[in-house]
Amino acid sequence: MSAYWGRTTAGLLLVWAVLNPRSAWAENASESLDSSEKASEAVRLGHEGRQLFELAEYPAALERFRAAERSAHSPVFTLHMARCLKQLGRWTEAREGLSRMTGEPLPEGAPPPWQAAKADAVLELKALERELPRFSLTVSGLPESEVSVILDDRPVRLPLSELLLDPGHHEVTAHRGQRAQTATFTLTPGTHHSLVLRFDSAELTPSEPSRAPESTPQSAPQASEKPSASARRDPRDPWFWTAVGVSGASLAVGGVSGALALANVHTLDCPGGICTGDDQLKLERTRRLADVATVSLILAGTAAATAVTILVLNSRSDAGGARVAVGLGAGSLSLRCNL
């Protein structure tokens, strides 16, 4: 935990700070209540807050530190409040508290825990500002002065450039009259996220979040890439799958029929090429099987070629290219292509 709570005697030092006649804060406190009672109460609440913080009970710990701060002002409590806020994901509030604390001069003769708290606050503020996500927003198609923007239920003014936000999910809405666009986005620590709201094409164009540099980052380029219609839609249609199915089934039938025909040929006993009796019947069956195999293999090849044609042409249809359609009729197969 913190160096100053860990050293402690921090409670005794805090009581001493309350009673120290050189402390302007102690003089102000004595105007309303006995300073020793207020210091004792602040120390008690501060210890409770520290214990809750160690148990990761951050909301309860925050309330204890706030109550302690109300009883007796101390940079120790302010720093712990900021730490609780950071653990709760309220990074911008934590930054505000640390910023106020680092800008507040310590009174003459401030106790060591106060001095250590302020030194830690300076370091933690720098680290927090490096990790705070940044968000930039622009609009196109309309003058920025005519667009109203609501970010996480609070109004903001354009342009937004590297606005510091908490990590997590956010929602932004830009509207002008009846025209409005809403976008949601997620920020992670140390990133810069840019968003462009397009009123001309009624489209939303976010950029990929980028890792923020250690120094103050420049405005990130707002490059966006709209996916094409063909990338969003599968170019294959039911006819493609029909052709694939016909090709596969025909290939199976042709293969089986051909194999049976070859098997029958090897069992025929036809001296001089003349078959009689059962061999004559077997020869007729073999010829029929060979015919079935030939027709099936031709159909399989035709269906496969049709499937490839459908796949190639329909993949270009959304870009204004050709479109192919297949028709099946009684004893016929038709292929229609619109160019």
Please write the tens of the pLDDT for every residue from 114-151: 999 999 999 999 999 999 999 999 888 888 888 889 99
Q: Of 211-215, 226-230, 299-303, which gets the smallest average pLDDT?
A: 226-230
Q: What is the pLDDT of residues 187-224, one digit of tens each?
A: 999 999 999 988 875 444 444 455 555 544 443 444 44
Residue 4: pLDDT band with limits 50, 70, 90:
very low
pLDDT at 64: 95
Q: Highest mean pLDDT range out of 37-46, 259-268, 322-331? A: 37-46
Residue 214 or 244, more confident: 244
Average pLDDT, stretch 7-35? Answer: 44
Residue 256 or 327, more confident: 256
Residue 71 or 201, more confident: 71
pLDDT over 90, % of the chain: 33
pLDDT at 311: 72
pLDDT at 310: 74
pLDDT over 70, % of the chain: 68
pLDDT at 94: 95
pLDDT at 309: 77
pLDDT at 199: 82
Average pLDDT, stretch 218-239? Answer: 46
Count of Cβ atoms closer than 10 Å to residue 143 Cβ: 9
pLDDT at 126: 96
Q: What's the CA gap between 152 and 157, in Å, rounded?
A: 13
Would you say residue 13 has pLDDT above 50?
Answer: no
Q: Is the pTM of this model over 0.75?
A: no
Count of Cβ atoms closer than 10 Å to residue 330 Cβ: 4
pLDDT at 233: 44
Contact residues for 127 (Cβ-Cβ < 8 A; gap 6+): none
Q: What is the pLDDT of residues 50-68, one digit of tens each?
A: 999 999 999 999 999 999 9
**Unique residue bearing structure tokens 């102000």:** 28
Q: Of 136-145, 169-178, 234-243, 251-260, which gets the smallest average pLDDT?
A: 234-243
Residue 334 or 159, more confident: 159
Q: What is the pLDDT of residues 148-184, one digit of tens each?
A: 899 998 999 888 889 999 999 999 998 888 888 889 9
Count of Cβ atoms closer than 10 Å to residue 91 Cβ: 24
Name the region of 272 (left: φ>0; alpha: ψ -120 to 50; beta: rest): left
